[in-house]
């Protein structure tokens, strides 16, 4: 018998064979990663070369909460791997932990994956390779995921070059290492042309984690209330025996204390980093309050100069009254 001969395939048959082979390769590739964490494909959720602030707010809330979960997880493992960055000008140790870096990884690189053109400034620094073992956040753009269904958020488009995002992956690290967990927050701030527009402050510890956010002139979480006439009519007595000075840690915590009306002023007399105050600044001003330096200058968040050397005052009312009583000479002599 003659088994010799020629097999001929038409073009359709060749295309089918090639297609099946490609699908097989894709299938094998998708199953070859084993148990390694998968990084989602980069998806730029900007529209028409602009960034949608509604989407950016939703992302900011989710990354702050995801960063908080990393902070809590490291604390539960009781393996902080604490190191020091050195000392502040005031001689206080400035620690950094594994939680700072893990929170930074998920917050910074999740934002960069979803908004590749976004300028993000973080307190911490890690390469993407150092963060490769973490699962980056898969962004859920459904607003009801992170906000009340009764809150309507508009689509506001901003050129990416006008936006700077400041993140603090773990505010109050020193207190974190000392188990003073009520002061610990993770924060995201969105500044447009240098002005803080969106602030997100997440408290990961407590009976339940709690997130507060505000978008200037648009919306805010129900636990934050704009100033009213009763607050505007606070006593105009000078600092004296009837004034209670409360010692607290964490710029995010203290800014929220002002925003929620638990205290009337937050005063900081030494240098402070902008990622520590940007989110709180946005929230305070969204509710009708004010935050300035002690020389009555608004903080500019558009540049990369990360340090504010001129102190800080945050109030919900009578801002000028407080400033007048915080003269530079008194501040230098009696630091608070």
Which residues participate in the annotated binding site for Mg(2+)?
123, 168, 170-171, 276
Quote the tokens at residue 250.
Answer: 């964490």
CA dist., res. 286 & res. 196, Å (int):
9
Q: Which of 185, 256, 263 is nearest to 223 (CA)?
A: 256
CA dist., res. 188 & res. 210, Å (int):
14
**Burial readout 235-269 (b: 16 or more C-beta within 10 A, e: otherwise):** eeeeeeeeeeeeeebbbbbbbbbbbebebbbbbbb
End-to-end Cα distance, the chain: 103
Looking up tokens 């699962």, which residue turns up? 135
Binding site: which residues? 123, 168, 170-171, 276
Q: Which of 2, 20, 174, 202 is nearest to 97 (CA)?
A: 174
Q: Which of 127, 137, 75 is nearest to 106 (CA)?
A: 137
């Amino acid at each position: 018998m003659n088994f010799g001969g020629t097999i001929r395939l038409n073009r359709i048959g060749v295309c089918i064979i090639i297609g099946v082979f490609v699908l097989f390769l894709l299938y094998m590739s998708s199953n070859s990663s084993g148990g390694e964490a998968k990084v989602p494909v980069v998806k730029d959720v900007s529209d028409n070369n602009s960034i949608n602030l509604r989407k950016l707010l939703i992302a900011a809330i989710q990354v702050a909460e995801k960063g908080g979960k990393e902070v809590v997880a490291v604390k539960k493992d009781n393996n902080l791997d604490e190191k020091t960055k050195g000392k502040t000008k005031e001689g206080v140790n400035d620690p950094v932990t594994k939680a700072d870096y893990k929170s930074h990884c998920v917050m910074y690189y999740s934002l960069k994956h979803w908004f590749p053109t976004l300028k993000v400034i973080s307190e911490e620094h890690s390469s993407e390779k150092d963060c490769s073992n973490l699962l980056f956040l898969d962004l859920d753009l459904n607003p009801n995921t992170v906000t009340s269904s009764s809150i309507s958020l508009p689509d506001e488009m901003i050129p990416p070059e006008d936006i700077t995002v400041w993140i603090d992956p773990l505010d109050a690290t020193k207190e974190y290492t000392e188990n003073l967990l009520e002061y610990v927050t993770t924060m995201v701030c969105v500044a447009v042309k240098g002005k803080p527009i969106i602030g997100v402050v997440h408290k990961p510890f407590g009976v339940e984690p709690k997130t507060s956010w505000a978008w200037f002139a648009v919306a805010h979480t129900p636990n934050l209330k704009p100033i009213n006439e009763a607050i505007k009519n606070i006593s105009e007595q000078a600092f004296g025996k009837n004034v209670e000075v409360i010692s607290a840690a964490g710029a995010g915590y203290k800014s929220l204390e002002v925003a929620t009306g638990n205290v009337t002023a937050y005063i900081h007399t030494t240098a402070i980093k902008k990622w520590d105050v940007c989110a709180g600044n946005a929230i305070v001003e969204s509710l009708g309050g004010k935050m300035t330096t002690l020389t009555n200058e608004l903080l500019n968040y558009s540049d990369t100069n990360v340090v504010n050397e001129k102190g800080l005052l945050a109030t919900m009312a009578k801002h000028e009254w407080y400033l007048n009583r915080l003269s530079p000479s008194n501040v230098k002599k009696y630091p608070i």
